[in-house]
Amino acid sequence: MDKIVVLDFGSQYSHLICRRIRDFSVYAELVPFSISFEELKNLNPKGIIFSGGPSSVYNPDAPIPDEKIFDLGLPLLGICYGHQLIVNKYGGKVKRANKEYGSSLLTIENDKDLLNGIGESVRAWMSHGDEAEEIPPGFKIIGHTESARAAAIASDEKPIFGIQFHPEVVHTEQGNEILKNFVLKVCKAKQDWTMAEFIKNEVEKISKIEGNVLCGVSGGIDSTVAALLIHKAIGNRLKCVFVNNGLLRQDEENEIEDIFKNNFKLNFSGVDASNNFLSKLKGVEDPEQKRKIVGEQFISVFTDFAEQNGPFKWLAQGTLYPDVIESGVSKGPASVIKSHHNVGGLPEWLDLEILEPLKELYKDEVREIAKILGVPEKLFMRHPFPGPGLAVRIIGEITPEKLKICKLASKIVEDELIEAKIYENVWQAYAAVGDDKAVGVVGDERKYGNIVMIRVVDSIDAMTADWTRLPHGLLEKMSNRITNEIENVTWVTYSISSKPPATIEPQ
């Protein structure tokens, strides 16, 4: 199939570029900027995109791609740092400028090719500290902002474009249309990337593996879809195991067992390891350490299970693209944001091979596969839940009291969203608790109790998210229930931070 290759120079948005392009039913693949000319040529792309990144092209240690890549004759689009690379490569000049972060008005000077049909002006998202002082010979300016004269440039003779802004983020108006112009009109890529085709190819690939597979299922959509794909490929050579780590939502262990036993013809077992997890986490406050401990404990349980019920050669997981990039083990040079228990949290002593059929997919793509595979809507529409569970929603040490508060408060938040018929319209909703306390008045008496934070966000793929503007009456109802029904809670707050700069989970 046709593909667009994105060279990753370390931008937090690199995967978003791929994600947006896949929306056009065109396959996009992220590769490190250091990929060799031969490796890139063998991928046979229809076009190349240079991502943004934190570096400056004039620095001695700036990441530079193989020079031969420029000679492939393929359409090329540079975004932010990628734009500056093109300017520098073809004889222009890049200089240090005042940092520009946020929305700017992009005025379009030439509406052909890349900016075709965009209009006279749009709001564009800027995130840079360098800019093109002089554009290269043989290039023209096709768009500018008040602070960036060469915010968009194009070669007069070749299909090469550079843009200083980020079309991949939702904050850029018609950013998808700009990317679509490059992919479909400039690169002329065929729209042949579909989830039905992915299922076919992945099942064929998995069917060729040898040995039995142990799949950890959490009850979430990712691990469930991974299990169903693997089962479709190898049948009874798959064994699914659900681990109760003591960090689940209220009554979740019973719900998950009912869902799997009543809806899927999978070989399913449950293991209660809650005491082990909670004892290992006792006294631990650092979030990264929590994630590592949870990861190691999961693997320990899986390993013990494999020894008693094996032999198994593979451990399967529902790892997704965002998990990989945030854990710092993606193909590019992005920094670690937080280790995911099933990626960055895997211990070195693991003696099972890892099978991750979904690691190149985003959440919305997984949900599309779930529809095709006939996953029940009740499971299909459940909000994402972090692998380390409430360990990352309890700030500081995990104590029995904070665990109880977190479970009950989150249940109230979800129940009220369901009652208001809003639950299915938001991406994720929960309550978190930490060590902060505040004075309240309960029964005419002063009480010093916990502060609970409610977090509700809207998103498409978890790579970016915005806080949900809930009706004030609904927030009031949640707050009243939490303070009235949960002992030792005196205050309730609502998080209004988007991602970025925040993350969806507090830890």
Position 342 scores a pLDDT of 47
Position 350 scores a pLDDT of 66
Q: How far apart are CA 504 and CA 14, in angstroms?
A: 18
| CA torsion angle 23 29 31 35 (round to 10) | -130
Q: For residue 269, give the DSSP letter.
A: E
Map out the domains of the chain as residue ranges.
3-186, 195-380, 393-494
406 classed as catalytic = no
Model confidence pLDDT, tens digit, residues 331-363: 444 444 444 444 444 555 567 888 999 988 888
- pLDDT in single tens digits along all 507 residues of the chain: 899 999 999 887 888 899 899 999 999 989 999 999 999 999 999 999 999 988 888 888 999 999 999 989 999 999 999 999 999 999 999 888 766 677 889 999 998 899 999 999 999 988 777 888 899 999 999 999 888 889 999 999 999 999 999 999 888 899 999 999 999 999 999 999 999 999 999 999 999 999 999 999 988 899 999 999 999 999 999 999 999 999 999 999 998 888 888 888 899 999 999 999 999 999 999 999 999 999 889 988 988 998 899 799 999 989 887 676 655 544 444 444 444 444 444 555 567 888 999 988 888 899 899 999 988 877 778 898 888 999 999 999 999 999 999 999 999 999 999 999 999 999 999 999 999 999 998 767 788 999 999 999 999 877 788 999 999 999 999 999 999 999 999 999 999 999 888 999 998
80 classed as catalytic = yes
Q: Partners of 63 in the beta sheet?
A: none
* Locus of tokens 């349980």: 301
Amino acid found at 353: E
Q: How far apart are CA 25 and CA 220, in angstroms?
A: 25
* Residue 339: partners with Cβ closer than 8 Å, 6 or more residues away: 288, 291, 292, 295, 327, 328, 345
Q: CATH: 3.10.110.10, 3.40.640.10, 3.40.50.880, 1.20.1440.230. Which one for 3-186?
A: 3.40.50.880
| Inter-CA distances, 270 with 129, 248, 293, 397, 445, Å | 52, 14, 20, 27, 45
Same fold: 3-186 with 195-380: yes
Structure tokens at 217: 């299922």
Name the residue among 99, 83, 215 with its Cα closest to residue 150.
83
* Locus of tokens 């300016």: 141
Q: How far apart are CA 381 and CA 374, in angstroms?
A: 13
Position 122 scores a pLDDT of 93
Say if residue 501 is exposed, middle or buried (CB neighbours under 10 Å; 0-12, 13-18, 19+): exposed
**DSSP for 116-132, written as a single string:** TTS-SEEEEEEEEEEEE
Rounded to a whole number, what is the distance in angstroms from the first to the last CA of the chain? 39
Q: Are 182 and 132 in contact (CB under 8 A)?
A: no
Active-site residue among 168, 360, 368, 414?
A: 168
Amino acid found at 303: T
Could you tell me which CATH number the domain at 195-380 has?
3.40.50.620
Q: How far is CA 390 from the centre of its chain?
A: 19
Active-site residue among 15, 18, 80, 253?
A: 80
Q: Are 110 and 140 in contact (CB under 8 A)?
A: yes
Q: How far is CA 7 from the centre of its chain?
A: 18
Domain 393-494 CATH assignment equals 3.30.1520.10: no
Active-site residue among 15, 83, 144, 166?
A: 166
Q: How far apart are CA 147 and CA 106, in angstroms?
A: 10
Q: Give the pairing type, strands 314-316 and 268-272.
A: unpaired
144 classed as catalytic = no
